[in-house]
Amino acid sequence: MDASLVVTNPTGMRQVERQVGQRYGRWRVAANPTSLASAASAGARLLDRLTALGITYVSDTASMRARSGPAVFECYPYTTLVGVEEFGYDDERPRYKRLAPSVPPAVARQRRAEAFDELVRRVRTRPLDPPLDLDGDPRTRALAEPSVLHGPTHKHREDLLDGVLCAWTAAFWERHGDRRVQVLGGDDGSPSDPRDTAGRLPALVAPAREAQRPAR
């Protein structure tokens, strides 16, 4: 899920959000702050609903692989895109979301559309392990069509692609485990926020190059 699922800090930002900036900032990736005082609580409410339906929250590789049914975890499309080398974003994240404020809006919309189409091209053509097939469903197959500049239409396509990337992150984590994934906020000696009343740790699953891991 691309959402803040477990939030225990009263104010400020979670440790996982700090670690996103610390480890992925070189690629111009950062995370919005979330706290108990912020209005962004939809992810936590969603987790409560999923838990009531019997879906388990996982925040480490061992519990992910030991699950006996559906499980959910928090991830972030940008860390996946810059953390998986095969996508080829070696210098910075693709700018397929927000409009660049430094250029006129018409130019910014065109550049955003081009970045989105290039990202879809890479998803479709790069040799990924496990494979990522956009053609298996007509809705995701349509992402290969040239982007339009209409804002709400672009946002719908962006959200659909982000959902695909989150689902693929789950497959990537299961395939490669800790060898190519790190759990921010996890038990690697880095600071972490308190667990919630259900014993769940605020954590974010992020594919990682060696340069994006903490110094050992």
pLDDT value of residue 93: 97
Place of tokens 């692609």: 161
Is 216's pLDDT higher than 80? no
Is 115's pLDDT higher than 90? yes
The predicted-structure confidence for 81-102, as pLDDT tens digits, reads as follows 999 999 999 999 999 998 989 9
Is 207's pLDDT higher than 90? yes
Please tell me the least confidently modeled range out of 68-82, 98-112, 133-147, 187-201: 187-201
| Structural contact between residues 209 and 80, judged by C-beta atoms closer than 8 angstroms | no
The predicted-structure confidence for 145-166, as pLDDT tens digits, reads as follows 999 888 899 999 999 999 999 9
Is 189's pLDDT higher than 90? no
- SS3 state at 29: coil
| Structural contact between residues 203 and 183, judged by C-beta atoms closer than 8 angstroms | yes
In this prediction, residues 200-212 reach a mean pLDDT of 96
As a whole number of angstroms, the distance between CA 133 and CA 36 comes to 38
pTM: 0.94
pLDDT value of residue 20: 97
Q: Provide, rounded to the nearest whole percent, the portion of the chain with pLDDT above 90.
A: 88
Place of tokens 């559906």: 70
Single out the residue of 48, 49, 44 nearest to residue 74, CA to CA: 44
